[in-house]
Structures are given as C-alpha cells and as structure tokens.
Structure 1
Amino acid sequence: MPASRSKKRGPAWRRYLLWAVGIGAVGAVIAAIALFVAVYTARNSLPSYDELKSSPNGQMVRVRAADGTIIVSLGPSYGQWLPYADIPEVMRDAMIAVEDRRFYSHWGVDPVALARIAKFAFDNYGTDRRLQGASTITQQVARTIFLSNKYDIGRKFREMILALAMERKFSKQQILELYLNKVYFGGGAYGIDAASRRFFAHPAETLDLSEAAVIAGLVKAPSRYSPTADAEAAVGRASVVLDLMVETGAISAGEAAAARPTDVELAPAPRQNSVRYFTDWALPQLEVLIDETQAPLDVWTTLDLSMQRSADSAVRNNTPSGTQGALVSLDRDGAVRAMVGGKDYVSSIYNRATQAERQPGSAWKLFVYLAALEAGYRPEDQVVDGPVTIQGWSPRNSSGRFSGTVSLRTAFAYSLNTVAAKLGQELGFGTVADMARRFGITTEINTRPAMVLGTSNVRLIELTRAFASVASRGVAVTPYGITRVTANDEVIYSHEVDTSRVLVAPYVAAQMTDLLQTAVASGSGRAAQIGRPVAGKTGTTTSNKDGWFVGFSSGLTTGVWMGRDDAKRVGSLQGGTAPARAFAAFMKPATAKRPIEEFDTKVTLPEWQLEPDAESYYGEPDNGLFVDEDGNPIVEPGMGVPDEPGEYFGNDPYAPPRSAPTPEPQQERLDGEWIDRVLGRDQPSDPEPVQGSRTPLPPPPDRRSQEARPNQ
C-alpha cells in the first residue's frame, strides 16, 4: 500500500519543480500587477505635453569675476523649438539609428536591450564595470526632464517606469519631438536647433545628411565628439552614424558614400580666452558646495580680470616657441586671482596649471630645506659641498665642481645638489616626502635618494600653494575660486577661509623666506626681480624639459611652468630665464597697486658676492645633467665629463674657486631680538649655540632640546 501511494505521488524533484513554477507564476503575476499600477500611477501624474515643452532645459549659471563682471554664462542656449514636422527627416532618422533603432516598435523599454544588459551584468558580476546602454529615447527623455544623471539601480528603475508611462500618454512623434528639442549636444547647446546654430551657424531646419550625422553622434559623449574640440573624432563618429543609418534602412549605401562629414563647414569658434581655464577648474566644485539644481545661479569668483589679462600676456609673450606655459597666482588667503592653463584655450583646453604633473627640479628643494630648518638648521650654518654616494647614487652639482665648506644659504642660493642630497640622507627621504605632503602635494612621491632633486611629479597649483603657505608664515593656504553663490538673490553658499592649520613654526617659515629671498637677489632667480621684495625659487629638469619659477611678493604668490606637453627637451629653457621673466612680467602690474611689504628677514647675500656663476644666473638643469627621471646618473650626448671630482665644468670667469676656502661666518641675524620681534615672545634664556663648520653633514645637535625655541 505505501509503495503504490509513493508511486502515485511521483518523484520528489518533480513536485519541487511544480512548486517552483507555481511560485514563480504567482510572483510574476504579482510583479505584473505592481508594474501596471506603478505605470498608470505615473501616467496620471505626468504633466501635460505643453508643460513638458516649457520645462527648463538646464540650469542657468552666470559666473562673475571678483568685481562682479559677468565672465561666462552657461545654461540653455538660444535654439528655437521645432515641431516634429519641421525637423528634417535625416535628423530624425540619424538619431533613431544611433540611439534607439527599435524606437517605433517598443513600449518605452527595449526588451532586446534589457536582455543585453542582463548578460553584461552577469558576465561582469563582482566587478566595478558600469552597466551601459539599454536606455531608449523615451527613457532618455524621462531622465532629462524628471531625473538626474546619478547612476544607480533605483534611478534606472524609476526611469523605466516613467518611460512606460510616457509611452501610454504621448505619441511616438511627441516623444521624439521632446527628445530632439531637449537633449544636450555640448557647448551649452540644448536641442538640435541650438546645436545647429552653435556648430554650423544656421537653423536646424536646413540640416543636411552630413551635418545631421555629426549632431546625432554628439549625444553619446558631447565633449569627446565635439567638432570644435576634436574635428577628427567628430568625423569618425559621424561615419559610424551613417553606417548605422544604412543598417536600419534609413538611407542607402550610395547616400552614405555621398555624404562627406569631412567637408562640413563649421561655424567660426566663439572667441574664448584664458578665463575659461579658471571657470573649467572652479565650476565643477559647485557639485559639492551646493545642492540647488534648478534655480538660476550667480557664482561670484576670486578672479581679478586685470591680473588675468596680465597673466595671459606674460605667458604668451615669454613662453618659448613650440612650448606651452601655465601660470597660477594666489592671494594670501588662497584666493585664485589669475590662472592660465596654456597659451591658447581655443587650441587646447587642457589646463596645465591644475592637471599637468611634471618634475619640479630644484623648486622641490623647498621641502628639503624646510625639513632641515625644522630639524634645527639655520641659514648661516656651515655645510660641506663635496662628493657623496647614497645607495649607489653619486649626485653632482650642475657646475661640475665642489666648493668645500659653505653656508646653508649659499647652498640654497646656488642650488648645490650634493648638499641637498646630504640633507635628505641625514633627515630621511621619508621626512622630506612628509614635508611635501604636509604642504599640500598630493601626487605620488618617491623616496629614492634622487627625490631631493625634484624627480617626483607635481602640479603647478599645488607647488604654488606650498610656497604661499611659507609666505603666510607657515599657516596652510588652500586655493579656492568661488567666494559665494546666490540663487534668486539669496546667498546659498559663502566661502570661509580656514587659518587654523599651522604647518611649520613661524620662525621656520621666516628662515625659509630668508633663503628664498637670497635665491632671487643673487642666485638663479634674478630675472624675477620686480623692484620690491621677492622670495622665490627656480626649477629646471632633465634635458631642459621643464622650467619653473615660483615666488611671492606683497601678499601674492605666483607659480609659472613652461615645457612641452610631450616632455621633449626644449633647447635653452631654464627656470631662471623664461619662467622667471614671465613671473616678473605678471607680478609687476599685479602688485603695482599693493603696498610694498618687507619680509620678516632682510636679504643677506651668500659668500660669493661679486657675481653669481653662469649656472646660478641662468638656472641650468638642477637634476638634468646628472640624473634621469628615475634618479640615475646620466651624461647627455656631447657633454664633457670632469676627469676629477672637483674639475670645473665650463669656462665661467665669475665662478667661485673650485675649492672655496671656509668663509668667515657672518654675523648671526636670528638673535633673541629678532625672535622677539617676529614671534612676539620673550627671548629664550638659553644661550645660542656656537656656529661652526660641519663635516659632511653629521647629525646636527638637536637644537630643540638645547634651545628654548618658541612654538616647539
């Protein structure tokens, strides 16, 4: 009896399968009912077609300079709304072919595309690859009008519900009309009429096949395929559109072959200037500063138009032919007063002031000497410029000679590489890297010995920020470009300057300023003199690939970089020539209306006071003659090599002796009275240590334990 009963019931797996199928069917019915309710609820809540037509295409943003002048207006363009019947057929066909070839057959969501995206999700499960495609034209309209571009599953589901609802309420022609009049084509142009006027200088009603293919190709990536930014990419994308039109039967192969996107005549590019480098850098910050996405905005910035014109002129007039230049200038609180990312914004929108990462050469020694001063060194301390080998690396000075015992001031003014290397070895290369990090360098920093000569890439704005923090007596300076944002005349954001973060003690910053003044007064930065106190440093890298000058005066800190984008050598480019001259050309008018400000320290010349040698004056490569990008010793073709370690490299009549005698120590200036005046503190009671020579940089006595130094 039990056996027959078991036989009638059948195998267990069959029962489980039937249960699964039943549960699945019930679930599918419930899901279908829920979807039906969601779609028709959304349909009933949709605005009318006329209301959708009048909804804004995008947010209007007016960008103002520091004086209130409007410098850029962004937002909906001036295109006219075109009814479906007035839109050229080639434009409609091109858009459907490239964006949604089954537009007329699906219900707002394309099941074929959904299957494709489901397979993609399965194949890439557990990876960070983002799901792409599958959005129909109807879905794109729903996203453009009702949703944001934030990508997540919830938004995608809402987009699908809205698309299904729109297909229930509006005709295909109405949806396509909405799409072609609202989709963004780049360059501030919303809709095909705005795009046609923007790129071809005529209304969209007269678009031909080639022009329609170019415009249709923009939707996928407006900035990448913009004909004004990259004509080759735009033509290539237009050819893809034409091929798709042939596949969908919209045009014949002969018509596609007759179309010539390469012959499309573009409208003259609107005159742009270097202001766009600044706005391209500043405006993306709005995403984290404010939440307003609908109301028109007025964005008040730090840009000084007069300084910007001077910066643009300084870069254009001083950058060597065939190279690029960049400049950024910060006020004492971090406000960006001028920014130039290249010689011509129209030909290249790449911002070399904020995006390019290049080797800084000896400008990096700022961090080496800051670490030394914080550890207890002083500008007058004696160090030995002589041969040194660190982990198989034997740096030499650019002049090819060693000068014996010199002061720290002289070592910095004449950019002695051996002294920087010994300081790095003594202090620890990690300590130098930590100092750079502390002062705002965010790029990767290597800790190989040659790092002291500037072999790690940096960005101009970050290196300028570091010098600005020295100028502010060791208080961190953070660059900013937006002072406030208003929406409907109501302030919704206001910048607050943070002066609470102290990077080094004030006396360390003052001593560093002392050294930087010497570099401009008598060292490699002499071309940066502007008739008022200036502190700064040059930088020249391997084979003259990069030239830098960064310095400050009268509360303004300015950095200049020059070089080729492909990092090839540039004949006579050195930090002390073109970059220093551009710095001076900018700073003279920029500081003209500012009061002359004396630094906390007076300029003190190094030991060799007749004339600096040619290397120091012209700022020869600080690491280039003897170090490659990885810090390994190299010899350039045609370059002589000294037979003896101390043999002079060249015929400079003004060079100091090859084996300079130990100079008489100069009068110590950083006495108790000076510390009192700078820090407003009582003079330390402990006596000052006796100044003496150093043999190859033994560990210095810990002055922080021997002296009652303030703020330590």
Structure 2
Amino acid sequence: MSKRGEQLQNKGARGGRRAATERSAAPDPGGSGPPPPRWRLWLKRAFVWGGALALLGVVVLAVAVGFAASSLPDYATLQATQPGQTIVIRARDGRELVEIGPSFGEWLTYDEIPENMTNAMVAVEDKRFRSHFGVDPVRLTGALIEGVTGSRARLGGTSTITQQLARNLFLNNNRSLDRKAREAVLAMALEWKFSKEQILELYLNKVYFGGGAYGIDSASRKFFSHPANELSVEEAAIIAGLVKAPSQYSPTADVQAAIGRAQVVLGLMQEQGYITPAEAKVDVSAVQLKEQAGQNSVRYFTDWVLPQLDIILPETYEPIEVWTTLDIGMQRAATAAIEANTPKGAQGALVSLDRDGAILAMVGGTDYVASNYNRATAAMRQPGSAWKLFVYLAALEAGYKPEDKVTDTPVTIDGWSPRNANGRNVGETDLRTAFAYSINTVAAQLGNEVGFGTVASMARRFGVNSKIDTYPSMVLGSSEVRVIEMVQAFAGISAKGVAVEPYGITKVTGASGEVLYRRENPGKSPAVPDYVVAGITDLLQAAVQTGTGRAADIGRPVAGKTGTTSSNKDGWFIGFSSGITTGVWMGRDDAKAVPGLQGGRAPAQAFAAYMRFAVKSRPVEQFDVTLELPEWQLEPDEEAMFGSPEDYYYIDEQGNMVQPGQREGGTDPFGPDAPPAASQDFLEEATGGSLPQNQQRPPREPRRAPPQTVPAKPPEQ
C-alpha cells in the first residue's frame, strides 16, 4: 500500500474510534444507564449475606432449641426436682428448733393458685409473659441499648419468668454471656415443650423467696402462717416483691422495706389492669406477719452446730434431721438472763454445759437479728481473775492445801509489779481466802513458784486451745480466750477432774429414719488427781460463799469464780452446781470500758438468774472437798507416839530388841540382863567377823527367840 493510502486508513480508524466514543457518551434510550455507586453495591451484598447468616442463625437456633426441648425432662420430673438439702434441727426433747435449707410446702396446680398471685408475679417480673416465646425482644433490645449508652432507665431485668425458671432448674447464677445464651436457649425450649400455664405453675412452686422458702406455699406459711391458696392481694404483693431481692425485702428482716416493695407491685398491677385503683390502695402494713418465735437466740447455737455436719457426715443431699443437746426451756431462761442483766451498750454471752459436755444453752449476744456474731464461741477476750483457776490448780498439784499460809505483800517479778483491786495488802492469810477474794499478789507468787509454763500446761489439760502467753502477767488472765473454752475447763472440775468436750449433736437421721451418725462417749482419764479436784472445789465454793462471787448464790452449793479485766472492759462469772456448768461474759465489742462492770455483779447475777431455772429439777449435790493426800505429800516429821511405851517393841543401846512388857526385874528394859535381839552366832555371821570382846557377853541360859527380828544390813559387795 502507498504512503498516501496508509494515512487515509489511519485517519479512518481514528474517526471510527472517536465515533464509537461519542456513541458511548450519548444517551441510550433503550439501555440501563450508568452503573450504581460502589457503596450501594456493598450494601446490597451485606444485606444478602446478612440475611443468609440470619437465616442460618435462625436455623441453628431452631436446631439448638429443638435439641434442648427434646432433652428436657418431662413435667413430672421437673415437678419432683428439689434444689438443695433440707435440714431440720431438733432440741433434746425432739421438738423442732429450726428448719434450714429449702422448704417447699404443698404443690399447687395452676388452677389452685390464686389469680392475684399469678397477676402480681407477672406484673412485677414479666409483663409480656403471655405474649413472648421465652425471650422478650423488647427487654433484650433495651439491654443492648443500655450496654451501649450506659443508661439505667429500665426498671426491670432482662430475664423473663421463663428464663428465671430455666436458670433455677438447670443453671447457676453466673453472669457470663455463655450462661445467658444457654439460659435463652433453655427458655425457648421450655416454651416449645410446655404451655404458659405449666411454666407459671413450675415457676410459682419453685422460685426462691428467702429464708429457705421455695415456692409460694412455703413462703405463705413462713410469713403469714397459712397456705398459699388463701393469699390476699396485699399478701400476694409482698410475696411477689421478694423475688428481686429475698434478703432485702424479707418481712422478717425489714418490715418497712417489704411494705414499700409491695406498694410498687400493687402499682404495677393497677397500671397493667389487674386490679382497680381502690384495690391498689389496700393497707399493706395491716398484714399479720408470723411471729418468728425462738429464732432470735437459738440461731447462735444452730449456726455453731451446722458446720460440724461436714465433718461427721458423708456427703449427702437427702433431707436430714439433726438431734441436738439444746434444752428449749434453759435456752429461754439463758436468753432472758442475758437480756435482763447486760449493761446498756454492752453485749452478753452465755454457755451452759451438762456434766458430760452436752450444751444445754448458748447465747452469743443480746440480739441475733441485730448481730449474728457469736460471742460465746468466736470472740477472744481476756478472762481476768477467772484464769486463776489454772494457777491454783497448779499450786494444789504442787503440794499446796487450801489452809496453807500465804502472804499478801507487794511483789515484783521480772519488772512486773501486780497490785490488788482495792490497792491494799492484808499480809499473812491462807490459800482459801486469797482465792475467794481474788488477791492478785498471791496469784503472782504462786504462778512464779510453780512456773508460768506449768500454769499454761494446766489450762491445756482442761481444753483451752487458744494461744497462751507465759509472761508473768498471764496469771491474772492477760491471754485472750473464748467463753466456751473457759466453761469447758470449769466443767472438767465439776466432772471430778476429767476434761470434757463441748458437743451439740447426739445423732443425725436420714429421710427414711436410718441413723447416719450417733455420738459415742469418749472415755477419758482424769487430768488431775482427786485431791487436786477436792482442793480447787473447796476454793471455788469459798469464792461464792464468802468471796467476790456472792451474787451467784442460788440457795444450793455453787462453786465458781469471777473475772474482771482492767478498766472494766470484761466481766465474767463461771461456776457449777448440780452437774451444770455455766459461764457468763459481758463487755463491749469494741473493748471499751463499761462503767460499773465487774464479774461479781451483772455476770454473777445473770448466772444466778439462769441457774435457778436450770437446776430446779435436779437434786441438790454437796461438793466433796475432803482432801485425801498422796503419801508423798504427808509430812514425815509430823509424827506422834500414842499409848504407853510398854506396848511397843524397841531397841536398846546394844541393838537388842525388847518385847512389850519384858523388862529385867520388871523395871528396866535397858538393864544388863535384857535379852539379845539375836544370837551371837547370827550377829557374827551377819557382820562378817567376830564381835569385839568388850561387846561379848558371858553365856547364859538360852531363851526363846522373839517373834520378829531386825536383820542387820548385809555387807557391801
């Protein structure tokens, strides 16, 4: 092709391309127009994929719910399921003290449940219960918004009644996302398998209302003393209001809080059309609540007993009955004695043991509801002069006797100078008086003499397990101990010196009556000899008869000891009579001084008030204070000759034994013709040689040998 032809061809091609470009730029009436923006394309893709994923999620959720529904137990099984273990605690006479753990009452069918009760529960817990499928989308959306914004505008929780039932039946209270997801699946499974009426029936018979009460019937009996099918609208409002916080709104713990919560429930019932405005204005404060008789002080004892079940029983979840040593009458008397005698602003505690260590009464404070801290078993306090029990026990074991003379005089031990409470010294006195009047200087001298470690060891023998210091001041009770330990020690003296162990459980039985545990009485040997027990009982009795414990006199023999710490921070009296040992402590929890508090006053008075009741049906027992000392304590130089010398054998200057009434000439038993104690041959053989000539006697007529002889000591080998 020529050059001119190539130019024309190229020009034609460029023109064709330009024409094509112009055609593409020109509007096309029959075409689709320009492509959409990219964001629209991605939105379309997200919608498609999101729909697909949502559909897949629905399918997975439906499969999970269907699988969960197929795995759920049947209705009868769910009805029979009981969470937790019921424990009934009984007194020594078999009467019920308290029921701990779940209490279920009677099962009520949906038709038997009062309509006011179902309406109250739905109104306050789940107002869309009858329309949702187990999970409330409105609540769930609100929860999501709250999570993003941090708002707290919602009045209710996210869990529906069905979700709460699922949690109570199958899950725990963990607030994790995993638990919430499983809760939602199980709730929808419950809705799939059971009707709304069945779900509500299960819920109202199993939900927890506090105080161990599960289900509305148990709650109604606990709080109002009648079954749930008799609930009034105001009573139903009180019970429905408990679900949110059973301990906070319990009518037995805070009546005003329970009433205020019930008013909220009534307002919601009116708002949702269940009751009229007139019905919503009922006087909730007029509801008659069940009196919680005996629950105030007896709970100190049951709180102490229950943890012991973990030790004495194998693991079991069946209902059990615990038979205890507590005497209901004595417990009431102990409670009254503490309430009547404890100084204002102070606390009081009492422990009473039978002669074998069985706890008859225990009071851990003046008001269990106000403070459940058990001062009888947990509080560590200085015992003051009550500790002198161990000082004098050690002294008696070391050889002292109650009538031995001691001297009340100023004393200093390792830089420590104790003084008496009255600031005076009486000089010479006896051990009995020093103990009865709690003379500190004498106790310090005795403790120093026998050894402070010996005193601590004596306390250990009688059951004191708390830390004991061995500084000189320990003899006056500077080491802190528990009330129950001191009572245990005094009970050992009452038990003739055999250390006792406090116990509160005699047996445990299962649901069918079989015995799961029975206490065996451990045999123990005396911790101190009989004469020590007699001596210390003598001293303890003197302390009540003539000493600091005179206020503890109850008209029959009592042995005991007072205790008062510095600045009147603690007051004690511990004693025993007719086999019952009781200890009383009073003081403030913050260890501040209590004006006028002394062991010989309020504590001794409370002891007497209780013991008069405790021993009234027991025979009067006199104390055995006769000292039968062991041979090593009999003084060898305290000998006396009784009768006439003529009635005794005795040895003359030559070693000859003279028989009674045999005297030479009838006058001189030491005369030259007195008979020899042994023959000369025997004496020579015994001494290993011939007797000196000046000791030999001329032969004389043989005489009959005496009936007894005193052989000479054989020669050493």
Could you say whether these structures have the same fold, taking a TM-score greater than 0.5 normalized by the shorter chain as the test?
yes
> Distance in 2 between the 1:455 and 1:163 partners?
58
Structure 1 portions without partners, runs of 5+: 1-37, 98-102, 107-111, 113-134, 243-250, 252-258, 603-668, 673-682, 692-712
Alignment partner of 1:556 is 2:580: yes
Cα offsets for 1:481-514 (capped at 9, x unmatched): 2212222222222111213254333333332222
Structure-2 residue corresponding to 1:218: 245
Alignment check: 8 A CA contact 2:163 2:186 kept = no
Aligned partner letter, 2:78: L
Alignment check: 8 A CA contact 1:80 1:194 kept = no
Relative to structure 1, is the Cα distance of residues 398 and 191 closer, same or farther in structure 2, using a 3 angstrom cutoff? Answer: same
Alignment check: 8 A CA contact 1:303 1:336 kept = yes
Structure-1 residue corresponding to 2:81: 55
Cα offsets for 1:367-396 (capped at 9, x unmatched): 222233344444344433222334443221
Query: How far apart are 1:559 and its partner, in Å?
Result: 1.2
Alignment check: 8 A CA contact 1:195 1:215 kept = no
Q: Whose relative contact order is higher, 1 or 2, with alpha carbons under 8 Å and at least 6 apart?
A: 1
Secondary structure of the equivalent of 1:170?
helix
Query: How far apart are 1:525 and its partner, in Å?
Result: 1.0
Alignment check: 8 A CA contact 1:79 1:197 kept = no
Structure-2 residue corresponding to 1:404: 427
Structure-1 residue corresponding to 2:92: 66
> Distance in 2 between the 1:398 and 1:542 partners?
10
Alignment partner of 1:542 is 2:566: yes
> Distance in 1 between the 2:419 and 2:545 partners?
24
Aligned pair count? 535
> Distance in 1 between the 2:84 and 2:124 partners?
24
Decide which of 445, 461, 472 is 2:484's aligned counterpart.
461
Alignment check: 8 A CA contact 1:441 1:458 kept = yes
Alignment check: 8 A CA contact 1:199 1:266 kept = no
Provide TM-score, normalisation by structure 2.
0.61
Matches within 5 A, 1:64-463: 64-74=90-100, 75-78=102-105, 104=135, 166=186, 169-171=189-191, 178=202, 181-191=205-215, 194-195=218-219, 198=222, 215-218=242-245, 222=247, 228-229=252-253, 268=289, 270-273=291-294, 274-291=297-314, 293-345=316-368, 348-463=371-486
Secondary structure of the equivalent of 2:350?
strand
> Distance in 2 between the 1:40 and 1:437 partners?
66
Relative to structure 1, is the Cα distance of residues 168 and 96 closer, same or farther in structure 2, using a 3 angstrom cutoff? Answer: closer
Query: How far apart are 1:323 and its partner, in Å?
Result: 3.7
Relative to structure 1, is the Cα distance of residues 177 and 377 closer, same or farther in structure 2, using a 3 angstrom cutoff? Answer: farther
Relative to structure 1, is the Cα distance of residues 180 and 455 closer, same or farther in structure 2, using a 3 angstrom cutoff? Answer: farther
Larger radius of gyration: 2
Alignment partner of 1:527 is 2:551: yes
Relative to structure 1, is the Cα distance of residues 433 and 408 closer, same or farther in structure 2, using a 3 angstrom cutoff? Answer: same
Query: How far apart are 1:405 and its partner, in Å?
Result: 3.3
Query: How far apart are 1:69 and its partner, in Å?
Result: 3.0
> Distance in 2 between the 1:594 and 1:547 partners?
28
Which shows bigger deviation, 76-85 or 506-515? Answer: 76-85
Alignment check: 8 A CA contact 1:42 1:162 kept = no
Secondary structure of the equivalent of 2:621?
coil
Alignment partner of 1:585 is 2:609: yes
Relative to structure 1, is the Cα distance of residues 389 and 509 closer, same or farther in structure 2, using a 3 angstrom cutoff? Answer: same
Aligned partner letter, 2:635: E
Query: How far apart are 1:566 and its partner, in Å?
Result: 4.1
Relative to structure 1, is the Cα distance of residues 166 and 381 closer, same or farther in structure 2, using a 3 angstrom cutoff? Answer: farther
Relative to structure 1, is the Cα distance of residues 430 and 229 closer, same or farther in structure 2, using a 3 angstrom cutoff? Answer: farther
Secondary structure of the equivalent of 2:356?
coil
Cα offsets for 1:110-149 (capped at 9, x unmatched): xx9xxxxxxxxxxxxxxxxxxxxxx999999789667999
Alignment check: 8 A CA contact 1:331 1:555 kept = yes
Structure-1 residue corresponding to 2:276: none
Query: How far apart are 1:280 and its partner, in Å?
Result: 3.4
> Distance in 2 between the 1:432 and 1:552 partners?
22
Query: How far apart are 1:334 and its partner, in Å?
Result: 0.9
Alignment check: 8 A CA contact 1:217 1:234 kept = no
Alignment check: 8 A CA contact 1:201 1:266 kept = no
Decide which of 509, 532, 538 is 1:486's aligned counterpart.
509
Alignment check: 8 A CA contact 2:208 2:243 kept = no
> Distance in 2 between the 1:553 and 1:416 partners?
24
Secondary structure of the equivalent of 2:395?
helix
> Distance in 2 between the 1:389 and 1:175 partners?
80
Secondary structure of the equivalent of 2:412?
coil
Decide which of 676, 680, 688 is 2:635's aligned counterpart.
688
Relative to structure 1, is the Cα distance of residues 297 and 162 closer, same or farther in structure 2, using a 3 angstrom cutoff? Answer: farther
> Distance in 2 between the 1:358 and 1:96 partners?
52
Structure-2 residue corresponding to 1:33: none
Query: How far apart are 1:537 and its partner, in Å?
Result: 0.4
Secondary structure of the equivalent of 1:539?
strand
Query: How far apart are 1:324 and its partner, in Å?
Result: 3.5
Secondary structure of the equivalent of 1:303?
coil
Relative to structure 1, is the Cα distance of residues 290 and 138 closer, same or farther in structure 2, using a 3 angstrom cutoff? Answer: farther
Aligned partner letter, 1:464: V
Structure 2 portions without partners, runs of 5+: 1-63, 128-133, 138-142, 144-158, 265-271, 273-279, 639-717
Q: RMSD value over aligned CA atoms?
A: 5.1
> Distance in 1 between the 2:165 and 2:205 partners?
10
> Distance in 2 between the 1:480 and 1:372 partners?
30
Q: Percent identity?
A: 56
Secondary structure of the equivalent of 1:326?
strand
Alignment check: 8 A CA contact 2:86 2:99 kept = yes
Query: How far apart are 1:475 and its partner, in Å?
Result: 1.5
> Distance in 2 between the 1:522 and 1:371 partners?
23
Structure-2 residue corresponding to 1:569: 593
> Distance in 1 between the 2:469 and 2:554 partners?
35
Structure-2 residue corresponding to 1:500: 524
> Distance in 1 between the 2:398 and 2:180 partners?
63
> Distance in 2 between the 1:62 and 1:524 partners?
43
Relative to structure 1, is the Cα distance of residues 346 and 366 closer, same or farther in structure 2, using a 3 angstrom cutoff? Answer: same
Cα offsets for 1:152-174 (capped at 9, x unmatched): xxxx9x99999799568534978
Relative to structure 1, is the Cα distance of residues 196 and 489 closer, same or farther in structure 2, using a 3 angstrom cutoff? Answer: closer
Aligned partner letter, 2:436: A
Cα offsets for 1:332-366 (capped at 9, x unmatched): 11111222334455555443333333322211212
Relative to structure 1, is the Cα distance of residues 391 and 105 closer, same or farther in structure 2, using a 3 angstrom cutoff? Answer: farther
> Distance in 1 between the 2:634 and 2:66 partners?
87
Query: How far apart are 1:551 and its partner, in Å?
Result: 0.6
Cα offsets for 1:461-481 (capped at 9, x unmatched): 221111001211222211112
Alignment check: 8 A CA contact 1:210 1:264 kept = no
Cα offsets for 1:527-561 (capped at 9, x unmatched): 22223222110112232232211111121111122
> Distance in 2 between the 1:432 and 1:476 partners?
16
